[in-house]
Amino acid sequence: MTASAEKFTRQTLLDVQSLTPSLFTLRTTRDAGFRFTAGQFVRLGVTKADGSTVWRAYSIVSSPFDEYLDFFSIVVPGGEFTSELSRLKVGDTLLVERQATGFLTLNRFIDGRDLWLLGTGTGVAPFLSILQDFEVWEKFERIVLVYSAREARELAYQSLINQLGEREYLAEYAHKLIYIPIVTRERHPGALNGRITTLIENGELERAAGVELTAEHSRVLICGNPQMVDDTRQLLKQRDMQLSLSRRPGQVAVENYW
């Protein structure tokens, strides 16, 4: 099989940054023909010492217009894929499938005034791509990024989030972004404390945002721990907010790829 006929391309690792012993970010080169929509994910492949390849799906952190690809990963103890991935060094090869996919994209919603992005852990990744795409700033009046981690040091990409408003193409829209960090296992200045579901139930999340979660005005993207995704969906369902399907547009879209 020729390289062009393969379902993946071979990309070079440009940068690896360790955030904590169990979290790291990586950047690779990008094939000139690779296209994706902000919010989508792609499968990455790592070749093991025995020559076999292991694949896992990763949301893309970078903008669709960047010349590189950024990813955010957790190290799963004993995990076949992340153990191999975390050992890679700058200059090593990573396989990237040619086809991106996923449902956490803005075209899931046909209307809406306020966009809520609810992410836990590495589930924040697709939202960072969306926030670097001009379309979201034009489409919604307010954008609420809710990013939950166990400890403050696990809140990644803080400089990217804080500097979005300094980008020339976003400067006049920067006021639309409401950023709410959450830390669940410790108290941290400037961050809420508690599970996302608890903060929705007791109203604290909406008070912090200054925005109500309503079926009429809110559109919600959820990504992260599968239990959080399911529990949050159920809470929103109690507010008459339904999954957005191609045959029935709704108010909620979720991603489960692990």
Residue in 16, 7, 212 with CA at minimum distance from that of residue 98: 7
Please identify, among 97, 131, 149, the residue that sits at the C-terminal boundary of a domain.
97
User: 185 is written with which tokens?
Assistant: 């296992």
pLDDT by 10s per residue, the chain, length 258? 444 458 999 999 999 999 999 999 999 999 999 999 999 999 999 988 888 999 999 999 999 999 999 999 998 888 888 888 888 899 999 999 999 999 899 999 999 999 999 999 999 999 999 999 999 999 999 999 999 999 999 999 999 999 998 999 898 999 999 999 999 999 999 999 999 999 999 999 999 999 999 999 999 999 999 999 999 999 999 999 999 988 899 999 998 755
Please identify, among 97, 127, 145, the residue that sits at the C-terminal boundary of a domain.
97
Q: Are 59 and 93 in the same domain?
A: yes
Please identify, among 97, 119, 147, the residue that sits at the C-terminal boundary of a domain.
97
Distance of CA 211 to the CA centre of its chain: 22
Q: Look up the domain containing 62 and give its range.
A: 8-97
> Residues near 155 by Cβ (< 8 Å), separated by ≥ 6?
147, 149, 181, 183, 191
- The enclosing domain of 33 has a CATH number of 2.40.30.10
Q: What is the pLDDT, as a whole number, of residue 2?
A: 44
**Domain assignment of residue 72, yes or no:** yes
Rounded to 5 degrees, φ, ψ at 140 are -120, 150
User: 135 is written with which tokens?
Assistant: 């379309």
**Domain assignment of residue 80, yes or no:** yes
**Domain assignment of residue 2, yes or no:** no
Q: Are 143 and 164 in the same domain?
A: yes
Q: Are 27 and 134 in the same domain?
A: no
Q: Are 45 and 25 in the same domain?
A: yes
Q: Are 87 and 124 in the same domain?
A: no
Q: Are 110 and 93 in the same domain?
A: no
**Domain assignment of residue 134, yes or no:** yes
Q: What is the pLDDT, as a whole number, of residue 76?
A: 84
Residue in 76, 75, 89, 80 with CA at minimum distance from that of residue 28: 89
Q: Are 87 and 111 in the same domain?
A: no
**Domain assignment of residue 57, yes or no:** yes
Q: Are 31 and 144 in the same domain?
A: no
- Phi/psi-derived region of residue 209, left when phi > 0, alpha when psi is between -120 and 50, beta in every other case: alpha
Residue in 167, 202, 172, 177 with CA at minimum distance from that of residue 116: 177
Q: Are 145 and 74 in the same domain?
A: no
Q: Are 38 and 134 in the same domain?
A: no
Q: Are 160 and 237 in the same domain?
A: yes
**Domain assignment of residue 3, yes or no:** no
**Domain assignment of residue 195, yes or no:** yes
Distance CA 6, CA 8 (A): 5
**Domain assignment of residue 142, yes or no:** yes
Q: What is the pLDDT, as a whole number, of residue 1?
A: 41
Q: What is the pLDDT, as a whole number, of residue 3?
A: 46
Residue in 9, 116, 123, 121 with CA at minimum distance from that of residue 57: 123
Q: Are 24 and 147 in the same domain?
A: no
- The enclosing domain of 195 has a CATH number of 3.40.50.80
Query: Full-prediction pTM beyond 0.85?
Result: yes
How many structural domains compose the chain? Answer: 2
